[in-house]
Amino acid sequence: PLRLDIKRKLTARSDRVKSVDLHPTEPWMLASLYNGSVCVWNHETQVNKHTQFQFDVEYLHHGDKQLKAKRIYDMLIKLWDWEKKWSCSQVFEGHTHYVMQIVINPKDNNQFASASLDRTIKVWQLGSSSPNFTLEGHEKGVNCIDYYSGGDKPYLISGADDRLVKIWDYQNKTCVQTLEGHAQNVSCVSFHPELPIIITGSEDGTVRIWHSSTYRLESTLNYGMERVWCVCGLRGSNNVALGYDEGSIIIKLGREEPAMSMDTSGKIIWAKHSEVQQANLKAMGDTEIKDGERLPLAVKDMGSCEIYPQTIQHNPNGRFVVVCGDGEYIIYTAMALRNKSFGSAQEFVWAHDSSEYAIRESNSVVKIFKNFKEKKSFKPDFGAEGIYGGFLLGVRSVNGLAFYDWENTELIRRIEIQPKHIFWSDSGELVCIATEDSFFILRYLSEKVAASQENNEGVTEDGIEDAFEVCGEIQEVVKTGLWVGDCFIYTSSVNRLNYFVGGEIVTIAHLDRTMYLLGYIPKDDRLYLGDKELNIVSYSLLVSVLEYQTAVMRRDFGMADKVLPTIPKEQRTRVAHFLEKQGFKQQALAVSSDSEHRFELALQLGELKIAYQLAVEAESEQKWKQLAELAISKCQFSLAQECLHHAQDYGGLLLLATASGNAAMVGKLAEGAERDGKNNVAFMTYFLQGK
């Protein structure tokens, strides 16, 4: 299926609408009503306020009455020459009943077609008053027609009171297809100028959307506005206007997710309708890039695709791209878009190994290919409702998820979960399984798997028990994701760009719209994302930070120390907080460049010297108090005394002096307290000395 996403953008109530049109550049819809008014609606402001052209109403009414007197419709078609003061320059005669609609052939402006209640369609040439030919086949009056504007097919479409829609080849003059489904007279038909769809409207109140190549019914829309009278699509736009008995509606047709993919070198391939285009990040040169700003990419056309692409995906090494749609897939070379292999499939996934892939042929059969040759076809135990590529081959069924070995399709592990997406890290050690409402990070224990396979221990009907270890579950909905080292970067359902590492979530950015992760280029220290309108933006994310965090997660402090010098000073504190959360306080203290953070860490670690140094620099009473407490707990009384002095903590000094039985200290404290007006302490100290 096309998986078109249909959204209602505007509902405009009015008298009966007989014709609608969309402005080519402004967000306006024009509707002409049966009562003689013409309305313009702005569909972007969403305010259902309409401008009404009052000036013509009287005239239109007058005209309407005259037309009524002439029974509105006519059997003749007339050509009016506006250069000659609208004189009638030609009459086309031939229909034996009213003519309902004419359309000019977009590929030949001298040719037009007419639909008539005499059950025929006639095709005419300007200059010849009799029809060039007639298409017969409908059993009742024909209400509407349209030409196909794409270059590849000489097609006309018609809709009639026999409730049928017919597609005609006007070169060999045969009906190539009949679309059945409408329950009443068909009142309007349209080939969409860009999307591979046919839109039909009927007096049964529904608008139907059909695939223009397979002729499959894709959707039936019923907005409860009574009979449908007109439909209008626009080139370069996903908006379609519909006119009804009770008003007009604009719907937006499109896909939720753009078909787009980036390889590891920064070449991005996407599909704009059926056209495949390429942009190269490298070609931007040294253009300064700001976070979240649209990148000024030069776009190169690569040609059109034989199927309407729903997804595009590079293989791991970037040499090939697979395009999927309409139950078909085609593998192209990424450079020149030359087809390498193709076939039918419900789904296609690449393996971790660039030469391998799998297709889901049906709900029960999965096939694995290597070097474009079928290697194995198998029927997973509980069926196959979805497949997932990567390190292991994932198969979803009603029973949950099963991971298989690509090599021999042996079951590795069955997990009771209904995944939406699965993302494997490059090393194959970590995997994210994202579901409807959360995501899990699992560690794949390949050594245990190998051991179990060897000695057959710990193997149940659900596979190898110790194959995975759960590292965490996070209550967030992942839309798109990717791994860099052991850091999982993702976009969430609330439009956050986050990354997850070691149990911690770091927010990189709040996005203002839905964006899809394309990839990460370590050399640029940047993350790239695309949106539905095929805009590409990027966000800075330092590879050194990610590498450092990955090294820490792997307890590889040798590596971490090597990476540290490459982390800019301003990022050090963030890294230190990460270390602290992982329980590496000593390392955090060494890395942090924030004195507050360092002081906290020094206290926690009992590092008196460092804490003292920081307290001296900070000159903060609070710090001296904290340090005094630590010093006391460590029986460092002279240090405690100094700290309490700095903190002007007389109560604390009194306690320290009396508890240690230090008469000299009590004496000194008495004088100091009196001088500073701390009368309670002064009294107590004098009293204790018997003074």
Ligand X SMILES: *[C@@H]1O[C@H](CO)[C@@H](O)[C@H](O)[C@H]1NC(C)=O
Can you tell me the distance from the alpha carbon of 226 to that of 15, in angstroms, rounded to the nearest whole number? 12
- Compose the 121-140 pattern: x for residues touching ligand X by CB under 6 A, - for all others: ----x------xx------x
Least separation in angstroms between residue 16's CB and ligand X is: 8
Using CB under 6 A, count the residues that bind ligand X: 24
Region binding ligand X by CB under 6 A among candidate stretches 85-93, 169-177, 419-427, 609-617: 169-177
The minimum distance between CB 95 and ligand X, in angstroms, equals 16
By CB under 6 A, residue 417 contacts ligand X: no
The separation between CA 541 and the C-alpha centre of its own chain, rounded to angstroms, equals 20
**Residue 656 to residues 126, 349, 630, 643, 674, Cα–Cα distance (Å):** 111, 72, 13, 12, 18
Q: How far is the CB of 356 from ligand X (least distance, A)?
A: 21
Residue 37 interacting with ligand X (CB under 6 A): yes
Burial of 222 from C-beta contacts in 10 A (0-12 / 13-18 / 19+): exposed
Smaller CB distance to ligand X: residue 247 or 652? 247
Question: In the complex with ligand X, which residue's Cβ is closer, 68 or 569?
Answer: 68
Contact residue for ligand X among 87, 174, 363, 689 (CB under 6 A): 174
User: Closer CB to ligand X, residue 125 or residue 364?
Assistant: 125
330 contributes a contact to ligand X by CB under 6 A = yes
**Cβ at position 328, least distance to ligand X in Å:** 8
Rounded CA-CA distance 225/156 in Å is 28
Closest separation between CB of residue 165 and ligand X, Å? Answer: 15
User: What is the nearest approach in angstroms of ligand X to the Cβ of residue 40?
Assistant: 12
Nearer to ligand X, 38 or 195 (CB): 38
Q: Which of 23, 40, 106, 169 contacts ligand X by CB under 6 A?
A: 169
Is residue 603 helix, strand or coil? helix
Name residues contacting ligand X, limited to 186-205 (CB under 6 A): 203
Q: Which is nearer to ligand X, 222 or 507 (CB)?
A: 222
Residues in the chain: 691
DSSP-derived pairing of the beta strands 516-521 and 526-530: antiparallel
Is there binding between residue 184 and ligand X (CB under 6 A)?
Answer: yes
- Is residue 161 near ligand X by the rule CB under 6 A? yes
Residue 68: CB minimum distance to ligand X, A: 15
Looking at 6, 27, 28, 57, which residue binds ligand X (CB under 6 A)? 57
Question: Could you tell me if residue 173 is left (phi over 0), alpha (psi between -120 and 50 degrees) or otherwise beta?
Answer: left
Q: Which is nearer to ligand X, 169 or 353 (CB)?
A: 169
Please give the backbone phi and psi of residue 203, each rounded to the nearest 5 degrees, phi first.
Answer: -70, -5
Give Cβ neighbours of residue 108 (< 8 Å, ≥ 6 apart): none
**Residue 327, interface with ligand X (CB under 6 A)?**
no
Q: Scan for tokens 């002081």, then name that residue.
A: 599
CB distance 305 to 276 below 8 Å: yes
| Binding of residue 339 to ligand X (CB under 6 A) | yes
Only one of the segments 92-100, 166-174, 311-319, 543-551 lies at the binding site for ligand X (rule: CB under 6 A); that segment is 166-174
Contact 502, 549 (CB under 8 A): yes
Both structure tokens of 351: 């393996």
Question: Do the beta carbons of residue 516 and residue 510 sit within 8 Å?
Answer: no
Task: Give residues 7-36 in contact with ligand X (rule: CB under 6 A).
Answer: 14-15, 33, 35-36
Residues 187 and 228 sit within 8 Å (Cβ to Cβ): yes
Is position 118 an interface residue for ligand X (rule: CB under 6 A)?
Answer: no
Cα–Cα distance, 463 to 481 (Å, whole number): 27
Distance CA 641, CA 631 (A): 9
Distances in Å between the Cα of 126 and the Cα atoms of 80, 83, 112, 232 are 12, 16, 8, 25
By beta-carbon proximity to ligand X, the closer residue of 124 and 468 is 124
DSSP one-letter string for 20-44: EEE-SSSSEEEEEETTS-EEEEESS
Residue 176 interacts with ligand X (CB under 6 A): yes or no: yes
Question: Rule CB under 6 A: which residues touch ligand X?
Answer: 14-15, 33, 35-37, 57, 125, 132-133, 140-141, 161, 169, 172, 174, 176, 184-185, 203, 306, 330, 339, 342
